[in-house]
Amino acid sequence: MAVDVQVSRGVTKATADQRPPLNRIFVMDPTADEVTLRPAARGYGSLQPSESPLRSLQFAVDAGQTEEVTVAESATAALESLLMSSPFSDPTLLEATDTVPDRRILPDVTVVKVGGQSLIDRGRAAVFPVVDELIEIKRTHRLLIGTGGGTRARHIYSLAAELGLPTGVLSEVGSAVAGQNASMLGYLMARHGVPVVGSTALSAIALYLAESGAAIFSGMPPYDMWQRVPETGVIPPYRTDAGCYLVAETYGCANMIFIKDEDGLYTANPKNDPSATLIPEITVDELIEADLPDLVVERPVLELMRHARHVRSIQIVNGLRPGLIRRAVEGEHVGTIIRSAS
Amino acid sequence: MTAAKDVPSALMRQTLLDRELVKPIERPVIRMLPWLEVVAIGGTAIVDRGAEALLPVVEELRGLLPEHRMLILTGAGIRARHVLGVGLDLGLPTGVLASLAGVEAEQNGHLVAALLAADGVSYLPHGGVAHQLAVHLAAARAVVSTAFPPYGLHEVTPRVGKLPVHRSDAGTFLIADAYGAARCVYIKDVDGVYDGGELLPRVSTAELRERGPAASPVDSLVLELLEQAKNVKEIQVVNGLNRGAVTDALGGKPVGTVIHAG
């Protein structure tokens, strides 16, 4: 099928002595296989089949030469041109950003989150076995260890909310609690060479991981005064679960494991509802549909997972049961697995 | 197993996720800096146009210093689009793209702060804006910072594509609402929102959303944030290319379009 297309002149990285000057065309019809250029230009090209509705090709104008490009390259060219000319609200631009292949930054790393209230607040009885297990795991796997807040975060949220302070202030003061927990884990793991990295020093983690096999970070995202406000109340919606998850997603990590003090996700909070039953596996959509009154992970994590590119499943495991963390890191299903889609 | 060592509080032993249990601590949120006026200078709309567009805006802001205490924020522009293009081509994730683009808004802030330095105005990084804004504004009438929020590597996963969603427009609104600012003004290169050929003095977020994403002079995320906000319930969009528009907006005169939650 022949199709007329719009020709647009974009910014190109090619210089005249390397390649002939290029024009770009955008084709929105996924069934098109032949292109007629308008206005008249000396050039043609053929479209590669693609799943994406947005394809483009490059062609020479002056030299009379034609240049076929692969779909990925042409998508990049189309994207570059759209980026320079379209508002960020343009759906074509947003879609075009999807056509470029992703590159994972730390593909072989597992992010584990050590719960604040669920583990660290329990003290040595809960923390030492988890620390031992993580040290053992880091011999064979690379770990980024994030920390939760816990009971002190709840205290200061409660206090700050009573004072009428905004979410941004709660986000800052709550962040300090996850930081304390990170530094405590750091002291426990120091003899094994595991460093604590500040949220602004995450760029150094590649070195730490290579040298030591693990690094500890404070789980709270650095949103501070810019934290999104919740629908009701003032408690920051993006806390340490979301912060740890986003580290895993941004770095394109292999795995995200939440270490808690329950076997996984239950139909209600098992601590105060004896009728609660374990859900071994569930999708984000099913979970949102179920609209459970209480949840083992922060609700925004579900929304983040829905649109995730890399970390499309998370597992919640019981850190009070020895051996489960390693099995989860190795991909075994030992707690509740929540998936972005079925 | 040892029980957790608790600090007694209304939220003790909670997941913070049970909607009913979190309710008892709800209170009205105070306005921390009720006199603060947040003014955002568009990166593409104003700064990228160079001296011709930026200098008159800076001149107006200088004239406003004796009467107003301002947090002046700058957006990113064409350089952010360039670095996003390079970053996308390299396959880098949204969080990295957010960090890269945010740098451009910072640089624009340094330019504006340099122009206002003689008037006692300095650039403050995120930490200063979050923790020391009050003392800086006690010492100077205004400070300049980046409009981008500090989401960086922790930028959320976008619904479509890879571009970061918490950019200048969202960052401006989030900090204005967190401080309970008196006013939040966006300096753009359009007069406001038009209905056919007529400029609308006021429009609700719902009405604006019905007109589609292209109709809104601010990122559509801001409409969502306006509806959730605790204190700042409206923003004003003015055309910085029209002399006097910024002064009128801060003087409370009807100029441009006011977008309100509703």
Is the model's pLDDT at A218 over the cut of 70? yes
ipTM of the complex: 0.92
Euclidean distance between CA atoms A245 and A219, whole angstroms: 9
Question: Which of B5, B88, B158 is closest, CB to CB, to A121?
Answer: B5
Q: Do the beta carbons of residue A244 and residue A113 sit within 8 Å?
A: yes
Mean pLDDT of A2-24: 34
B19 confidence band (pLDDT: 50, 70, 90)? low
Residue A277 is predicted with a pLDDT of 92
Q: Between B213 and A111, where is the model more confident?
A: A111
Residue A39 is predicted with a pLDDT of 32
Sequential DSSP letters for A101-152: PP--SSTTEEEEEE-TTTTGGG-HHHHHHHHHHHHHHTTTSEEEEEE---HH
Residue A17 is predicted with a pLDDT of 33
Is the model's pLDDT at A260 over the cut of 50? yes
**Any bridge partners for residue B236, and if so which?**
B185, B258
The region of weakest confidence among A130-139, B3-12, B131-140, B172-181 is B3-12
Listed by number, the residues of chain B in 1-20 with a beta carbon closer than 8 Å to a beta carbon of chain A are 1-20
Mean pLDDT of B235-262: 97
Residue A27 is predicted with a pLDDT of 45
Pick the residue of A104, A130, A154 with the most B CBs within 10 A to test the interface with B by mutation: A154
Mean pLDDT, rounded, of chain A: 81
Residue A61 is predicted with a pLDDT of 34
What are the Cα distances from residue A182, in Å, to A120, A298, B121, B163? Answer: 10, 19, 37, 31
Residue B172 is predicted with a pLDDT of 98
Share of chain B above pLDDT 70, in %: 92
Listed by number, the residues of chain A in 84-103 with a beta carbon closer than 8 Å to a beta carbon of chain B are 84, 87-91, 93-98, 100-103
Q: Does A226 contact chain B (CB < 8 Å)? A: yes
Question: Which of A91, A102, A202 is closest, CB to CB, to B153?
Answer: A202
Mean pLDDT of B155-178: 97
Within 8 A of B85 by CB-CB distance, chain A residues are 79-80, 83-84
Name the minimum distance, in Å, from the CA of A93 to any CA of chain B: 8
Is the model's pLDDT at B15 over the cut of 70? no
B169 confidence band (pLDDT: 50, 70, 90)? very high
Is the model's pLDDT at B2 over the cut of 80? no
**Tokens (6 digits) for B228:** 């959730």
Residue B149 is predicted with a pLDDT of 98
Question: Which of B8, B154, B178 is closest, CB to CB, to A221?
Answer: B154
Question: Which of A150, A226, A249 is closest, CB to CB, to B149?
Answer: A226
Is the model's pLDDT at B179 over the cut of 90? yes
Name the minimum distance, in Å, from the CA of A320 to any CA of chain B: 8
Q: Does A3 contact chain B (CB < 8 Å)? A: no
The nearest alpha carbon in chain B to A127 belongs to B2
Within 8 A of B225 by CB-CB distance, chain A residues are 228
Q: Does B27 contact chain A (CB < 8 Å)? A: yes
User: For A280-308, what is each residue's pLDDT tens digit?
Assistant: 999 999 998 988 877 889 999 999 999 99
Is the model's pLDDT at A10 over the cut of 60? no
Mean pLDDT of A219-243: 96
State the helix-helix crossing angle for B94-116 and A240-250, rounded to 10 degrees.
100
Listed by number, the residues of chain A in 151-210 with a beta carbon closer than 8 Å to a beta carbon of chain B are 151-152, 154-155, 157-159, 161-169, 172, 202
Residue A93 is predicted with a pLDDT of 87
**Any bridge partners for residue B235, and if so which?**
B259
3-state secondary structure A68-96: CCCHHHHHHHHHHHHHHHCCCCCHHHHHH
Residue A340 is predicted with a pLDDT of 95
Mean pLDDT of A74-94: 78
pTM: 0.85
Do A87 and B94 lie within an 8 Å CB cutoff?
no
Q: Spell out the residues 6+ positions from residue A284 whose beta carbon is closer than 8 angstroms to its own.
A: A302, A305, A306, A338, A339, A340, A341
Do B12 and A154 lie within an 8 Å CB cutoff?
yes
Is the model's pLDDT at A2 over the cut of 70? no
Mean pLDDT of B65-77: 97
The region of weakest confidence among A20-24, A159-163, B223-227, B234-238 is A20-24
Pick the residue of A114, A151, A163 with the most B CBs within 10 A to test the interface with B by mutation: A151
Mean pLDDT of A132-151: 96
Mean pLDDT of A257-273: 90
Residue A291 is predicted with a pLDDT of 84
The region of weakest confidence among A86-95, A99-108, A327-336 is A86-95
Pick the residue of B38, B157, B189, B224 with the most A CBs within 10 A to test the interface with A by mutation: B157
Give the closest residue to B214 by CA, choosing from A91, A228, A162: A91
Within 8 A of A225 by CB-CB distance, chain B residues are 129-130, 174-175, 178-179
Is the model's pLDDT at B123 over the cut of 50? yes
User: For A33-62, what is each residue's pLDDT tens digit?
Assistant: 444 443 333 333 334 444 444 444 444 333
Name the minimum distance, in Å, from the CA of B171 to any CA of chain A: 7
Only one residue has tokens 């957010």, namely B98
Residue B17 is predicted with a pLDDT of 62
Mean pLDDT of B109-113: 98
Sign of CA dihedral B66, B71, B77, B80: positive
Name the minimum distance, in Å, from the CA of B31 to any CA of chain A: 8
Listed by number, the residues of chain B in 168-227 with a beta carbon closer than 8 Å to a beta carbon of chain A are 171, 174-175, 177-180, 213-214, 216, 219-220, 225
Do B9 and A121 lie within an 8 Å CB cutoff?
no
Residue A49 is predicted with a pLDDT of 42
Do B1 and A102 lie within an 8 Å CB cutoff?
no
Is the model's pLDDT at A197 over the cut of 90? yes
Euclidean distance between CA atoms B60 and B185, whole angstroms: 14
Do A233 and B15 lie within an 8 Å CB cutoff?
no
A268 confidence band (pLDDT: 50, 70, 90)? confident
Do A233 and B23 lie within an 8 Å CB cutoff?
yes
Is the model's pLDDT at A203 over the cut of 50? yes
Listed by number, the residues of chain A in 252-311 with a beta carbon closer than 8 Å to a beta carbon of chain B are 252, 269, 271, 293-296, 298-300, 303-310
Q: Does B138 contact chain A (CB < 8 Å)? A: no
Question: Which of A126, A221, A224 is closest, CB to CB, to B2?
Answer: A126
